[in-house]
Amino acid sequence: MKKTVGIIGANGYTGSELIRLLAFHPHVTLSFLYSRSNSGTSISDPYPDLTTVCEMVLTDKPEEVDILFLCLPHKESQNWLTQNPVKDETLVIDLGNDFRLEGNFENRNFIYGLPGINKKQLMGAKSIANPGCFATAIQLALLPLAEKGMLNEVFTTGITGSTGAGQSLQATTHFTWRNDNVSAYKTLTHQHVDEILKQLVSFNNKEVILNFVPWRGDFARGIFTSSTMKTDLELEEIEQLYQDFYAEEPFVTISRKAVDLKQVVNTNRCVVQIEKSGNVAVIHSAIDNLLKGASGQAIQNMNLAMSWEENAGLNLKPVAF
């Protein structure tokens, strides 16, 4: 029997991507799509791409389900769970940042949902905190070095598509501003830095300094990061270290060729490439911010928690043209 799924905040970008993927998932059926602002309208109205895929009517009345995804603005998931108690048996996956740093909430202990480091803990979990998009891309680029205690000071730049800012229109997401334009934002203060450092330090067993400069790109979706650090390892040694670390990861690929965003857009994949000159190494990583950085990884976490095949519903081809 298929498991029932509900989505809170279904009318946002991450919610709509969950619908697109779950509509074809072999083990689940969508029971309700929750939205306070658009209750009573079909999900295919704001998202015509869902026409014939899913035309369920949005509701402001949640139901009991087996699996619940929270796709709410940051800092709203905890309030929603407080006001809408969920049975203990329900698997709750939060795509916001409420439980990434502090996972305890009432009788739930949220597991940090990065399969590359917490796969065993995610199996059978009932509460999962999905990582942030930049946090996913940067951690996947640095974790193999952190495991060996080789991180000291890292300089990272990363560029993200406009969908990373959410559905609500802002001055910096308006087409006439974003098109043919690039800008830095939240320099050295991005909200994902604490989340990244918490995981890296626990692996590295010593302090890590992360100098992160995020950029806004003039494209809709995708994240590309480049992390620079000093190391005496040869390039071949670093590549082997990464191959070994991700040997059992179906969605992380180590490439010896140049990486580009089109390799990952519309997929749950992360592609990593390593370059080195002298004693300086650069680790590039590319993901789709709405999939590996959000909804795709949430489904991967659901698959692990429910003991389903890890790639169920996630066999997606990148967009080449």
Which domain, by its residues, includes 38? 3-130+294-305
184, 215 contact by CB (below 8 A): yes
Inside any domain, residue 311:
no
Nearest by Cα to 273 from 260, 290, 292 = 260
Region 4-20: mean pLDDT is 95
Residue labelled with tokens 């074809």: 24
Q: Are 89 and 137 within one domain?
A: no
Inside any domain, residue 78:
yes
Q: Are 68 and 150 within one domain?
A: no
Give the torsion sign (CA, 233, 239, 244, 245): positive
The pTM of the whole model exceeds 0.85? yes
270 is catalytic: no
Looking up residue 46, the CATH number of its domain turns out to be: 3.40.50.720
134, 192 contact by CB (below 8 A): yes
Long-range (24+ apart) CB contacts under 8 A made by 177-186 are: 178/216, 178/218, 179/218, 180/218, 181/216, 181/218, 182/215, 182/216, 182/217, 182/218, 183/215, 183/216, 184/213, 184/214, 184/215, 184/216, 185/214, 185/215, 185/216, 186/214
> What's the pLDDT score for residue 286?
98
Give Cβ neighbours of residue 240 (< 8 Å, ≥ 6 apart): none
3-state secondary structure of 286: strand
Q: Are 219 and 231 within one domain?
A: yes
> What's the pLDDT score for residue 147?
94
3-state secondary structure of 222: coil
Nearest by Cα to 297 from 319, 271, 275, 267 = 267
Domain tally, the chain: 2
pLDDT in tens, 77-105: 999 999 999 999 999 999 999 999 998 99
Q: What angle do CA 297, 313, 125 make, to 5 degrees?
A: 50
Q: Are 154 and 265 within one domain?
A: yes
DSSP β-ladder status, 223-230 and 153-160: antiparallel
274, 242 contact by CB (below 8 A): yes
Q: Are 90 and 144 within one domain?
A: no
Q: What angle do CA 29, 30, 34 make, to 5 degrees?
A: 165
Q: Which of 54, 71, 133, 270 is catalytic?
A: 133
Question: Can you tell me the distance from the alpha carbon of 219 to that of 187, in angstroms, rounded to the nearest whole number?
Answer: 20
Q: Are 283 and 140 within one domain?
A: yes
pLDDT in tens, 239-274: 999 999 999 999 999 999 999 999 999 999 999 999
pLDDT class for 37, splitting at 50, 70, 90? confident
Region 50-76: mean pLDDT is 93
Nearest by Cα to 31 from 10, 6, 8 = 6
Judge whether residue 171 has pLDDT over 90.
no
Q: Are 113 and 101 within one domain?
A: yes
pLDDT in tens, 109-168: 999 999 999 999 999 999 999 999 999 999 999 999 999 999 999 999 999 998 876 666
Judge whether residue 180 has pLDDT over 80.
yes
Q: Please give the mean pLDDT across all residues of the chain.
A: 94
Q: Are 145 and 281 within one domain?
A: yes
Count of CA atoms in the C-beta half-sphere (13 A) of 312: 18
77, 128 contact by CB (below 8 A): no
Judge whether residue 70 has pLDDT over 80.
yes
pLDDT in tens, 182-230: 999 999 999 999 999 999 999 888 999 999 999 999 999 999 999 999 9
Q: Could you give the percent of the chain with pLDDT greater than 90?
A: 86
DSSP β-ladder status, 280-287 and 270-277: antiparallel
> What's the pLDDT score for residue 165?
63
Q: Which segment of 37-41, 238-242, 304-308 scores lowest on mean pLDDT?
A: 37-41
> What's the pLDDT score for residue 152?
95
Inside any domain, residue 283:
yes
> What's the pLDDT score for residue 74?
83
Q: Are 154 and 42 within one domain?
A: no
Helices (H), 57-205: 77-83, 115-122, 133-147, 175-178, 192-204
Inside any domain, residue 318:
no
